[in-house]
Amino acid sequence: MSQKPRAKPSKVSAAAPSQLPALRDQPTPAPEHRYDKLDRATRAALAQATAGVSPHSIMATWMDWALHLGRSPGRQLELSERAAQNAAKIGEQVRSLAMGEEKPAPFTPRSHDHRFQAESWGRAPFSIWAQSFLAMQDWWDAATDTMPGLAKRDADRARFQVRQALDVVSPSNFPWSNPEIIEKTIETGGRNLIEGAGHFWEDYLQTVTQYRKPPPEGLEIGEDLAATPGEVIFRNELFELIQYAPTTDAVAAEPVLFVPAWIMKYYILDLSPENSMVKYLVDQGFTVFMISWVNPTAEHAEVSLDDYRARGVMAALDRIGEVMPGRKVHANGYCLGGTLLAIAAAVMAREGDDRLASVTLMAAQVDFAEAGELLLFVDDSQVAFVEDLMWLQGYLDRPQMTRTFASIRAEDLIYSRAVRRYFLGKDDLPTDLTVWNNDTTRMPARMHSEYLRSLFLENRLSAGRFAVEGRVVALKDIALPMLAIGTETDHIAPWRSVYKVKLFTDCEVTFVLTRGGHNGGILSEPGHRNRHYRIDRRAPGALYEAPDRWVERVPRQDGSWWPEMARWMRERSSGTAPPPKMGTSLGEAPGEYVHLA
C-alpha cells in the first residue's frame, strides 16, 4: 500500500515543562517533621557519593556471611582443602607448560565470559595468569555458597560483590598482562593506545556533561529506526499514542495495543524494518497502536505507578475505542509494561470492563520472588537510599539505571568494552540495538519507589496485597486468553519467573520459551539465524506444571516465534474487516516524546 512521503521528525532536546500538558493535581503529602528534611538531605548526599549503593546493605551482607562461616569449622576446612587443590592444579599446569605437554586447562570461564577466548591466552605466562584468576573465582564461588542459617539473598549478594571485585583485577584488564593488547600495540606501533586515549577522553566528557551523542549515520530515529509509517493520534503528559498505517487490504477485526516499558524507549519493538515487530504485525494484517512514554523530568516527580495505568493504558484504550468503536483489543505488554498490563487487566476484570480480547506478556513478571540478579539491589536499606537520591533529584537519572544493568554483566558490558575501546583502540560498532540501548530514560521518583517497594521488595501483586483505587486486585480474575513469552538467558526477567504467571492465573495460557536474552529473545524475527522456541497451551483451570518438567515435555522447534504470535491472535480474533480510518493526527510517527533527551 502506498504511503505519503515521511517528513523528517522534529528534534526535541529536553522535556521542558512548557512542552508538556499540565500534570493533574497530586494529593498533598503527609506533613514532615521539621528535622526530616535535614535527615533526607544528609542521606541523599551520601547516596550521591556512593552512586546510590547502600553501605549498610553491603556491611550487613558480609556480617551475615562471616558470622555463619565463623561457626562452621567444617566449611572452613572444606575451603582450605579447595584452596590447596586449586593451587595444586595451577602448579601442575605450570609443570606441564614447562615440559611442553598439552593438557586441558583445569578451570574454564563461565559461558557468557569471553575475556580469555583468544588463542594467545593459551600461551605462558598468560595462561597461568588467566587460570590463577579463574581458580580464585572458583574458590570464592564455593566460599559464598549457601550455608545453614545464611540467608540465600546474602549468599547471592556476597557472591555478586566478590565477582564485582574480582572483575576489577582480572588480568584481561591490564595492558601488561593481556596478550591481545601487547600484540596489538606491537602491530600498530602504539597507535591503538593513542586512539584508546581519545576514546577514553570522549567517554569521560560524555559522562561528566551527560551529552547525548547523535545516532550514527544510517541509524537515525524516525528515519532508519522507529520508521514504520503512522500518526500520533493522542498525547497527554505521560505518553503519545501512535497508530500505524495499514499495508494490507483487510485487517484483523481486533487491533493490537503495545504497552512497552518506560525504563527504555518504545522503539525496541520498532527497530530497523527487518526486525521491527510492529512492521511485521502490520504486514500480517493487524492494526497496531503503540504507547510512546514521555522521558520524565523533575516535573513528573509525583507521578505514581497507578498514573501509568490510568493515564497511560486506560487512556490509550479510551482513544482506541474512539477510533475503532466496539472493537476489543489484543493488548501486548513488554517487560515492566507487561506487569502494568497484567495489573490493568485484573482491574478491568474486577470492574467488568470487557474491552480486551487477549493479553500478551513478553519477558514480563507478575511475581518477583525469583526476579533474577536485579533482586540483589533491592532491600529496605537499598530502596531507602534510592528514594533519598530521587527525593533530591525528582527522578532516578539515566546513569544510575545504566550502572545497575551494566554491573550485572560487568565482565562484558564494562571491562571487556573498556579493553576494546581504551587499549585495543576499537570503536563501538553501531547497531540498531546499541543505539536503542544507549537511549536511556529517567524514572519518576514516586513511581519508581512504588514499583521497587510494592512489586520487587514486597511482591504484593502475586501475594494478593496489591491495591488499586483502594481495593486489592487478583490476577485470577483475568479470564482472557493469555500468551506469555520467556527467554532462555534472560537475567532481568528469568524465564522461570515469567512462567509463574501460570501459577497465579486460571485462564487459558499459552507459554513460549525462546532462545536469547531479555531483548534478543524478543527480537526474533523470521529469518533470524540459530533461533528456536518451545510453545504449549494450558487449558483454563488445568493443573499447574513445574517449569523444568514443562521444558522436558515440550519439543523444541526451529525458527522464529513471531508467526506463532500472529497465528495465536488471529485465532482469537472475530474475522477480518477493512482497515480503519486513521485517528486525528497530531504529527507523524514516531512523534515527539521519543526524541526527548
Please give the positions annotated as active site.
335
- Partners of 533 in the beta sheet? 514, 557
DSSP 121: G
Burial (CB count <10 Å: 0-12, 13-18, 19+), residue 279: buried
Q: Taken in order 109, 111, 112, 117, is the CA torsion positive or negative? A: positive
Q: What is the 3-state secondary structure (H, E, C) of 12-43?
A: CCCCCHHHCCCCCCCCCCCCCCCCHHHHHHHH
Q: If we measure between CA atoms, which residue out of 297, 267, 290 comes closest to residue 442?
A: 297
Let me know: does 514 contact 551? Beta carbons within 8 Å: no
Q: What distance in Å separates the CA atoms of residue 94 and residue 252, rounded to the nearest whole number? A: 67
The C-alpha atoms of residue 576 and residue 419 are separated, in whole angstroms, by: 54
Which triple of cell numbers denotes residue 186? 606491537
Nearest to residue 261, comparing CAs of 52, 413, 390, 401? 401
Place of cell 571491562: 415
CA 172, CA 344: separation in Å to the nearest integer? 48
| Cα end-to-end span (Å), the chain | 34
- Residue 131 in grid coordinates: 587460570
Q: Is 440 left (phi over 0), alpha (psi -120 to 50) or beta?
A: beta
Cis status of the peptide bond prior to 444, with omega within 30 of 0: no
